[in-house]
Amino acid sequence: MVERTVLTGARVVLPTGVAEGGRVTVEGGRIADDVRHEAPTIDLTGHWIVPGFVDLHVHGGGGASFSAGTAEEALTAIRTHRAHGTTTMVASTVTGDLDDLARQAAVLSELTEQGDLAGIHFEGPFISPHRCGAHQPELLREPHPADVRKLLDAARGAARMMTLAPELEGGLESVRLLADSGVVAAVGHTDSTYEATLAAIDAGATVATHLFNAMPSLMHRSPGPIAALLEDERVTVELINDGTHLHPAVLELAFARAGADRVAFITDAMGAAGMNDGMYPLGPMRVEVKDGVARIADGPTAGSIAGSTLTLDTAFKRAVTLDKLPVEDVVRALSANPARVLGVADRVGSLEPGKDADLVVLDASYDLAGVMRKGEWLVRPEVG
């Protein structure tokens, strides 16, 4: 851990805007007030310093999966994404048997208690068979509150979010249960109507799981869940900015309607993130990655996109260079907004005194040059 150091000369993205030639003082693992005492200095002129990225939705990386149910695989995935700037993440599961999911939750809850994870995101099994995507259809089930409670109990307080289809029997009651339990209810993998989605939001749903994907398209006479989720100020919308899941015009539409304070970029990454093309497991399924795109290899959902191989540093660069979004808006989408959703914005998500010294250094081309987590360099910038 860096006891005390000062990073100088960079363009620093603060909650108040971009500080040209700014300074970030790190002391004891936290960002400190810049009192300008004697301290080692690192000159990062020509670079950017942004808050560490926060991923609301990630299934694995580095050839490992959170659904494997072992601490070893989970830690491999965590280390992979940390090396790409994600200093805070939840572990997302994949639809499976309830007992299997409960066993996975027991392992992941221990890693949450140790501080390696920010919690658990259950994606399925309470999702629509008509919009299951890369989830195994025969394992899907309706969101009866007793089953939802079983997973929450298995997580031992580590559950942070659950994706469900609110139109299913028990859906609204389960949304209320999640909200009352302090767990984010996310609408996703759903065949819901506009009206049913509004009812779910009124019941306490506050996140749209990978908006546009695995839900009915926006239609002029049947707006469906997309319109309801975009228009409601209570909802944060997840977007996968990998160039495969969303057309750039759709990304622009989401930012224009929801605003930069309600967008969270996610990876939805599976085990192939940070790896080469090939065959990989995703829960009980096999996934083929070709040209960086992951698809189910066989079975009734063969050919379906199976998450992504994205890392958030790539999402950052794409958003700024190709989508032409302001850097400040991209930082909100990658750090501040997901930190708020997870309830950890008092510790991470922005570069403010007292918060964890979680930060990412980018070069002038927006390529990753350094990663610090809690004052420790995970990737040390190469500077003169």
pLDDT over 90 percentage in the chain = 87
Domain residue limits at 274: 53-342
Predicted confidence (pLDDT) per residue in 250-308, tens digit: 999 999 999 999 999 999 999 999 999 999 887 777 889 998 998 988 888 788 888 89
Structure tokens at 268: 């939805």
Q: Are residues 354 and 207 in the same domain?
A: no
In a domain, 258, yes or no: yes
Q: Are residues 293 and 327 in the same domain?
A: yes
Q: For residue 2, is pLDDT > 70?
A: no
CB 62 within 8 A of CB 267: no
Can you list the alpha helix ranges (DSSP code H) found in the chain? 71-82, 98-113, 145-154, 171-180, 194-203, 224-231, 248-258, 312-321, 327-331, 337-342
In a domain, 384, yes or no: no
In a domain, 94, yes or no: yes
CATH (domain of 282)? 3.20.20.140
Q: Which pLDDT does position 384 carry in this prediction?
A: 62
Q: Are residues 212 and 310 in the same domain?
A: yes
In a domain, 310, yes or no: yes
Question: Could you tell me which residues come within 8 angstroms of residue 306 by beta carbon, excluding any fewer than 6 positions away?
Answer: 133, 134, 270, 282, 285, 287, 294, 295, 296
Tokens 């140790």 belong to residue: 114
What's the mean pLDDT in 136-162? Answer: 97
Q: Which pLDDT does position 145 carry in this prediction?
A: 98
What's the mean pLDDT in 66-91? Answer: 97
Q: Are residues 99 and 20 in the same domain?
A: no
Q: Which pLDDT does position 360 carry in this prediction?
A: 98
Q: Are residues 108 and 200 in the same domain?
A: yes
Q: Are residues 169 and 279 in the same domain?
A: yes
Rounded Cα distance between 246 and 177, Å, is 32
Structure tokens at 76: 């491999």
Q: How far is CA 14 from CA 19, 51, 336, 370, in A?
A: 7, 8, 11, 18
Confidence of residue 338 (pLDDT cuts 50, 70, 90): very high
Q: How many structural domains comprise the chain?
A: 2
Q: Are residues 84 and 40 in the same domain?
A: no
Q: For residue 1, is pLDDT > 70?
A: no
What's the mean pLDDT in 18-37? Answer: 90
Q: Are residues 184 and 99 in the same domain?
A: yes
* C-beta atoms surrounding 21 within 10 Å: 11
How many whole angstroms from its chain centre is CA 143? 23
Residue type, 293: V
What's the mean pLDDT in 15-31? Answer: 95
CATH (domain of 45)? 2.30.40.10
Confidence of residue 3 (pLDDT cuts 50, 70, 90): confident
Q: Are residues 38 and 133 in the same domain?
A: no
| Torsion of the alpha carbons at 359, 87, 76 and 379, rounded to the nearest 10 | 0
Q: For residue 168, is pLDDT > 60?
A: yes
In a domain, 238, yes or no: yes
> Is the torsion defined by CA of 165, 166, 171, 177 positive or negative?
positive
Q: For residue 150, is pLDDT > 80?
A: yes
Q: Cβ-count burial of 83 within 10 angstroms (0-12 exposed, 13-18 middle, 19+ buried)?
A: middle
∠ CA 254-308-85, nearest 5°, is 85
∠ CA 257-263-268, nearest 5°, is 130
Q: Which pLDDT does position 36 carry in this prediction?
A: 66
Q: What pTM value is reported for the model?
A: 0.96
Q: Are residues 185 and 332 in the same domain?
A: yes
Q: Identify which of 239, 255, 164, 230 has the alpha carbon closest to the alpha carbon of residue 203.
A: 164
Rounded Cα distance between 228 and 208, Å, is 10
Can you list the alpha helix ranges (DSSP code H) found in 165-276? 171-180, 194-203, 224-231, 248-258
Number of H helices, E strands in the chain: 10, 22
Q: Are residues 152 and 37 in the same domain?
A: no
What's the mean pLDDT in 50-79? Answer: 97
Range in 132-141, 201-210, 220-229, 339-348 with the lowest mean pLDDT: 132-141
Rounded Cα distance between 165 and 223, Å, is 17
Average pLDDT, whole number, for the chain?
95
Residue type, 144: H
What's the mean pLDDT in 181-190? Answer: 98
What's the mean pLDDT in 164-171? Answer: 98
Tokens 């310093």 belong to residue: 49
CB 134 within 8 A of CB 296: yes
Structure tokens at 274: 């940070």
In a domain, 159, yes or no: yes
Q: Are residues 205 and 248 in the same domain?
A: yes
